[in-house]
Amino acid sequence: MNPQPDVVQVPHERLHRLVSEQFRARGVPDDRARLAASALCHGDLCGFDSHGVFNLPRLYLPLFDAGRVDPRAEPVTRTDLGACATIDAGRALGLWAASEAMDDAIERARQHGIGLVSVHGATHFGCAGFHAARAAEQGLIGVVASNCGGQRIARPPRGAVRLLGTNPLAVAAPALPDHPFLLDMSTTVVPTGKVRVAAGDGAAIPGGWLADDTGRPVTDPSAFDDGTAHLRWLGGDPDTGAYKGFGLGLVVELLAALLSGSALGPTREALLGDAGRDDDIGYFVLAIDGERLRPDFTEAARAMFGAVHDCPPTGEVHYPGWWEAERAMGRRRDGVPVRRGLLAHLLELDEAVVG
């Protein structure tokens, strides 16, 4: 039996302040520090704790300390074609830079029906769904994808070396009131954060997440960072659909990195076993104004997702994003569960800043 993590309920406002103070202390301007904190806390609100404040001390603060994030970066538009643009993020913190790219895409979509922003020189942006949802909140369709820069995590089916990252993809759209459609997924079975959260909790993982070099399932999450197991693709084994997940991973690499001119996973260096690292990440950010294409788009979307929601159940039936919206509303009201050890670390970091 897996151990249950020891958690503490923390008011969302307090958690948000603790995170935003850390970004401000490292030179991020106030408004962008708050936006970045919202992006990071989104993971905990929606139940994606692997992409929430767990990553503040593990991932984001070390990026600042190593100089791999420029806290004062100002993204620069390199190409502007009206409906689409290419932007150099200049090593900006991805937690706010991806949202600003989506806001840019939304403005372009309002003018042209569609807005595409291709970003290079970026850094890790947390939950892709947070940035895509900004479009749905304004009645648009939002699509966000990101590669992992030059970092290689997953192997091609039947491949011997790692070529791609987890390459997340998110799609958001208006649906039922206060419950947007929001698909937020990695193209591997799970992102690395879920494996590391399980390792930190001393918990076993399902047999379908990791495999060893022979393809056998691995349930010890520590094997991933030990280098004795690797992530599997969506679809499972090569004979049962792994090429679908791998293919989606390549689609993200094409749209987010190759198109923007960012660092790629598949390179000659990768073939020599270079695992790379997650610098010069690429984003694909797309907004579509459905009402410009069909005036009844919002009404039609509500009817479509309503039909999914009303499907006769054998259990509970909901579309992607429903439970995340429910969970976020409950946690804003009742507090966000945070592991006790993580909260203690956050409070120590806060004391160091305030004191």
Active-site residues, by number, are 51
Exposure string of 290-319, with b = 16+ CB inside 10 Å and e = fewer, is bbeeeeebbeebeeebeeeeeeeeeeeebb
- Identity at 326, one-letter amino acid code: E
Exposure string of 167-187, with b = 16+ CB inside 10 Å and e = fewer, is bbbbbbbbbbeebbbbbbbbb
| Chain centre to alpha carbon of residue 249 | 14
Q: Which two tokens stand for residue 290?
A: 């459905």
Q: In what order do the strands lie in the sheet with 210-211?
A: 217-218, 210-211, 230-231
Q: Which two tokens stand for residue 329?
A: 């509303």
Which DSSP letter does residue 311 get?
S
Report yes or no: 151 and 166 within 8 Å, Cβ to Cβ.
no
Report yes or no: 114 and 30 within 8 Å, Cβ to Cβ.
no
Q: Which two tokens stand for residue 31?
A: 């408004």
Please state, in angstroms and as integers, the Cα–Cα distance from residue 42 to each residue in 4, 92, 126, following that order.
Answer: 22, 19, 9
Helix H, strand E, coil C: the string for 257-300 is HHCCCCCCCCCHHHHCCCCCCCCCEEEEEEEECHHHHCCCHHHH
- Cα distance between residue 167 and residue 296, in whole Å: 33
- Cα distance between residue 42 and residue 184, in whole Å: 12
Residue 347 burial (C-beta neighbours within 10 Å; 0-12, 13-18, 19+) = exposed
Which DSSP letter does residue 202 get?
T
